[in-house]
A and B are shown apart, each in its own frame.
Chain A
Amino acid sequence: MSSRLPPVLGEWIDRSQSLTIRFDGQRYAGHPGDVVSSALWAAGVRVLGRSFKYHRPRGILSLANHDVNTLMTDDAHINLRGDVSPLAEGMDLRAVNTAGGARADRRRLFDKLSAFMPVGFYYKAFHRPKALAHFWERFFRRMAGLGEINVDSPRLYTPKRYDFRDLLVIGAGPSGLAAGLCAAHSGASVLIVEENAQAGGSLGYARGGSDTNHERLEELLAQAKQLPHLEIRTGTCAVGYYADHWIALVEAQRMTTLRARAVIVSTGVMDQPAVFRNNDAPGVMFASAAQRLIYRYAVKPMHRAVVLTANSEGYEAALDLDRHGIGVGAVLDLRPEGESTDLAQRVTSANIRVLKGYGVSEAIARNDRLTGVRIFSVDGQARLPIPNSEVLSCDGLLMSVGFAPAAALLYQAGARMSYSEITHQFYPRELPKGVFAAGRVNGVFDLPYRLEDGKRAAQEAVRYLGFSTQPNPIVPPQRRWPTHPYPIFAHPDGKNFVDFDEDLQLKDFANAAQEGFDNIELMKRYSTVGMGPSQGKHSNMNAIRILANLRGETVDKVGTTTSRPFYHPVALAHLSGRGFHPVRRTPLHSLHAELGAAWMPAGNWQRPEYYARSDQDKNECVRGEVRAVRESLGLIDVGTLGKMDLYGPAAGEFLERVYAGRCANLKVGMTRYGVMLDESGVIIDDGVMARLSDQHFYFTTTTTGSATVYRELTRWNTLWRMDCGIVNLTGAFSAMNLAGPKARDLLAKLTDLDLSHASFPYLGVREAQVADVPCRLLRVGFVGELGYEIHTPAEHAHHLWTALMAAGNALGIRPFGVEAQRLLRLEKGHIIIGQDTDGLTTPLEARMEWAIKMDKPFFVGQRSLRIVAPRQRKQVLVGFTLDKSHSGAVPKECHLIIRGNDIAGRVTSIAFSETLGCHIGLAFIIPELAEEGTAFAIRADAGKMVSAVVAKAPFYDPSAQRQRDY
């Protein structure tokens, strides 16, 4: 039998179409616009899910995005919430956490065993015997938890985007709409987000038996359409507030992070349950849930109702039921004095019985359905159960006994909330800058006042934003407090639930407090109250009240737990996705790829480690590249080096201060190696500086250091105000190193520059056309052969590389990668900053005294070196070799040098040099072992000890004839 009502004004469903779904194997029909819960309820289904712990039957509670006992899965999605998941054709749903479906759940037996599962039972039992601990763990893991992850579920695309607004209004209820309209009139760009499928909030469903509110809503929405600056985004949930008005907005398939300049929180309130025996029976629901069923989905919530209330909202709901032909057996008003507004008269006129000072002691259910409620007079001191108390027969009970503000986002924003002993509610006492609260979340309950409060908040916000200079309006305080101070009724037979997520009963709180967990944060963690999927939306307020009652303290004193993002459950898919990890490619990237480059990361850069050849393994390729450089010609892309131009009268003096060596006396047309230190005297960078003119220097930094070096140099010059400027050309320039005995022969084919040793000596720098493009040529010797580092604007790089390779073909040129370069420089004993040095290495330890000039008046790090220079070094960097006949384990970088039982150093670089026929390396070692020719032992993998001998670096061409003299 369908419980669908005849068409209801403003209903969300589209009756012209029908949808079919399956739930626990049964087929049901609904309409577009339905949510899963409304369609099932319309079909007469009352058990939508089972509770977490005792597997009790559960139905609709709030229908407001808070129902956590109606979790379902279609295998692609886990834990779909029935009260918010839109109905879609062909859905095949199962209730989660059941054995055999919601209705027939075989684990419902657990309800009978609840006496053996008191609060915190799993902390105390099942530890012994120890042998069984794992058995129990597996058992509990199977029993606990809700939906199960299906690893084969289809991939969902959940794009992310950014958005910006002057003002974000969260919640499109009456106060939010009023606020958005008012603010948009001022010219501010306004976004109103609404978690439901349609805007309106309580204006749409809390109608009190008349259509006035619906008409008012239509009017507000029509006005909103007229305002170009105002957007209302429905189906969008603001789930988290982060610093400086940075808000996560989650839609079905997308997450938007929005930066607003100001935020109005008009999130309203959440109905809070009364606590009595069997208050979880299907059919017991919030008054607002029944109203939502009627006005959104045209579903009859029940056939005969009883209303348990303590406020006007309950009376309004009774009138709404009555208007749609649902019999109301009685309105039970917890307040002895009853309702003071004219609603009381209207309810009585509708022939509805009103019992003042009455409550429900117990809900009675048969076959998982509510059949009646036992009522009692709350006025007296009588203890439950009261014999022979009256039972009202009904299949639905509406609860409207009080509200808690939906203030999670306010808490996250840093608002201070206070509890009022007059209104029995938390309200925002102090709001952070740019955050405003409006409507019921702000403690304003009567509709005209809520609309006014929305406008008030909007006026304050636009004033804050600078769109208006009007003084902030003063709104008269309203005087109605709809929240009952303690709607909690103990019953000796229990099953009076405080937390529906975690199946916590009233007695569990008393037990937790008795065991010493009587602080709100401790109680939360011990009892798990508020830790279920709804994060305490229906339980925290009552839990605080119960604890305050147990301790005899005020609610304000007990306080609340911390509210953290996310406010609603957010699927991990919304958070995951591609990260933004920038990768830098040199202008020659595509050419390297064509040449078969095997890539390796160097800082943010991608560099060729070596160029793969189909018939050779990695070692053979690298050896071939090394041989080409030593015997004929090699070309390497060094465009990842930091490249800086420094220009100005004080350029030389500036370099003098930031490099440890001498710079100002560098001749025009020459280059010099330099090391850069930090203020503690540690080597942070090295490179080559070239003087292009009296006032113009061009210098390189390490690949990984370019950004930080540039940054630090500009900071120094911000402080020193020297007459020079630095330009970072790292991305604008390409660079390649042409090295090998035939480098000059090749270059001569492509340039008119006089390359003779006399006119372009070692360490010279020249500007010239090479292959018809402008270049800066630095004659350097990093790899120990005749070599030219050719720098050219990035747009010419492709052309230059291609021209060099083409012209070098006949000379046996080979491109070489980082791996070959590492070996080549190691043969020369050149260090790599960051590999052969660490965060504590001074040039004294690296034995680079030659690169520092202590007699300069100042350089960064000099003062610290003065302090450490006279001291005994803890370690020094030395070269070493393994025996030519060495076989077996080869030490690796970072392997330790051992003397006796002590660590005496570590290997920083090691490689096999074909040129020298043995392994060579660099190592930090204690000064006692640093003498040339000293033998020492390295502990290699698996503890194998390998003997090595300190050797003089450079290992190859120590007099540097090959790079220097011809």
Chain B
Amino acid sequence: MKIMLCPINGPRPVSEFVCAGEVREMPHPPTCSDAQWSDYVFNRSGVPGIKKEWWYHASSGVWFIAERDTTADRLLRTYLLGEESK
């Protein structure tokens, strides 16, 4: 079982976590085109590489961002939203 690093609770087994997919910027709903919106809703990049994802520590209810290198299967860093630079 792999280890995921929760920014609040530290390293924990990955079974305690839920991955909620890539972090994507929501286009502004009233002004974006239908195509832009559909792309946001439906399309995901499956290309291996460095991924920025939403992760959730289910045991404590902490949402955070994880950056993973899916090619090397390596966790690069995790942080709470907005605390990227800390």
Interface residues of A in 858-873 (CB under 8 A from B): 858, 862-864, 867
B37, B54, B56, B63: the one within 8 Å of A863 (CB)? B37
Taken together as a complex, chains A and B put the C-alpha atoms of A707 and B18 apart, in Å, by 11
Chain B min CB distance to A259 (Å): 8
Q: Is B73 among interface residues, defined by CB-CB distance under 8 A?
A: yes
**Is the Cβ of B29 less than 8 Å from the Cβ of A862?**
yes
Stretch of A211-219, A337-345, A695-703, A710-718 at the chain-chain interface: A710-718
Q: Does A966 contact B (CB under 8 A)?
A: no
Q: Mostly helix, strand, loop or mixed at chain B's interface?
A: mixed
B2 interface residue, CB < 8 Å from A? yes
Q: Which residues of A contact B63 (CB under 8 A)?
A: 714-715, 718
Nearest opposing residue in chain A for B37, CB measure? A863
> CB-CB contacts of B6-36 with A at 8 A, as 1s and 0s?
0000000000001010000000010010100
Q: Known contacts A711-B56, A862-B29; is A243 also within 8 Å of B41 by CB?
A: no
Residue of A nearest to B20 (CB): A715
- B interface bracket (residues with beta carbon within 8 Å of A): 20 to 34
Chain A residue, CB-CB nearest to B13: A259
Task: Mark out the residues of chain B between 60 and 86 whose CB falls within 8 Å of any chain A CB in the assembled complex.
Answer: 61, 63, 73, 81
Report the minimal beta-carbon distance from A155 to chain B, rounded to whole angstroms. 28
Chain A CB within 10 Å, residue with most, of B32, B37, B73: B37
| A residues near B41, Cβ cutoff 8 Å | 679-680, 864
Interface CB pairs A-B, < 8 A, 5: A243-B73, A246-B2, A679-B40, A711-B58, A862-B29
The 3 A-B residue pairs with the shortest CB-CB distance in the complex, in nearest-first order: A863-B29, A244-B3, A718-B63
Looking across the interface, which residue of chain B has its beta carbon closest to that of A261?
Answer: B11
With the chains together, A354 CA to B37 CA distance in Å?
84
* B54 x A715 contact (CB < 8 A): yes
A contact residues around B42 at 8 Å (CB): 680
Which of A243, A715, A863, A864 touches B1 (beta carbons < 8 Å)? A243
A867 and B81 contact, CB distance less than 8 A: no
Chain A binding surface SS class: helix
Contacts A711-B56, A714-B61 hold; do A243 and B2 have CB atoms under 8 A apart?
Answer: yes
Measured between beta carbons, the chain A residues less than 8 angstroms from B58 are 707, 711
CB within 8 A of B34: which of A715, A862, A867? A867
B14 CB to closest chain A CB, in angstroms?
9
With A714-B61, A718-B63, A864-B37 in contact, do A242 and B1 touch (Cβ < 8 Å)?
yes
Q: Which of A243, A711, A718, A728 contacts B18 (CB 8 A)?
A: A711
What band does the interface of chain A fall in when counting residues whose beta carbon is under 8 Å from B? 10 to 19
How many angstroms from the CA of A718 to the CA of B18 in the assembled complex? 15
**Distance between A378 CB and nearest chain B CB, rounded to angstroms:** 47
A156 sits at the interface (CB 8 A): no
Roughly how many angstroms separate A866 CA and B32 CA in the complex, as a whole number? Answer: 12
The CA of A242 and the CA of B3, in the complex, are separated in Å by 11
- Tell me, in angstroms, the Cα distance from A242 to B73 when the chains sit together: 13
Tell me whether A572 is interfacial, beta carbon within 8 Å: no
Inter-chain residue pair count (beta carbon < 8 A): 40
- In the complex, A719 has a CB within 8 A of chain B: yes
Residues of chain A in range 715-771 having any CB-CB distance to chain B below 8 Å: 715, 718-719, 728
Q: How far is the CA of A715 from the CA of B56 in the complex (A)?
A: 9
Cβ contact within 8 Å between B1 and A246: yes
Q: Which B residues are CB-close (under 8 A) to A863? A: 29, 32, 37
Question: Which B residues are in CB contact (< 8 Å) with A707?
Answer: 58
Given contacts A242-B1, A246-B1, A867-B34, contact A718 B61 (CB under 8 A): no
Q: Is the CB of A867 within 8 A of B56?
A: no
Known: A714-B61, A864-B37. 17 other contacts (CB 8 A): A242-B1, A243-B73, A244-B1, A679-B41, A680-B42, A707-B58, A711-B20, A711-B61, A714-B63, A715-B54, A715-B63, A718-B63, A719-B81, A862-B29, A863-B29, A867-B34, A867-B37
CB under 8 Å from chain B, chain A span 867-884: 867
Report if B45 contacts A (CB, 8 A).
no
Q: A814-870: which have CB < 8 Å to B? A: 858, 862-864, 867
Closest CB-CB distance, A324 to chain B, in whole Å?
48
- Residues of B within 8 Å of A719, CB to CB, are 81
Contacts of A680 in B (CB 8 A): 41-42
A325 to chain B, nearest CB (A): 53
Kindly name the residue among B20, B32, B63, B81 whose own CB sees the greatest number of chain A CB atoms within 10 A: B63
Least distance between A135 CB and chain B CB atoms (Å): 47
Alpha-carbon distance between A680 and B34 when the two chains are bound, in angstroms:
12
Q: Complex formed: what's the CA distance from A714 to B62 in Å? A: 9
User: For the complex, what is the distance from the CA of A246 to the CA of B32, rounded to whole Å?
Assistant: 47
Min CB–CB distance B24 → chain A (angstroms): 10
Which chain B positions have C-beta within 8 A of A867? 34, 37-38
Contact of A718 with B81 in the complex, beta carbons under 8 Å: yes
Who on chain A is nearest to B61 by CB? A714
CA distance A858 to B54 in the complex (A): 23
Q: How far is the CA of A863 from the CA of B28 in the complex (A)?
A: 10
Q: Could you say which residues of chain B place their CB within 8 Å of the CB of A728?
A: 61
In the assembled complex, the Cα of A680 lies from the Cα of B58 at a distance in Å of 24
Most chain B CB within 10 A, of A244, A707, A863, is at A863
A643 and B44 CA atoms in complex are apart in Å by 32
A862 to B32, CA, bound (A): 13
Give the distance in Å from the alpha carbon of A714 to the alpha carbon of B41 in the complex: 19
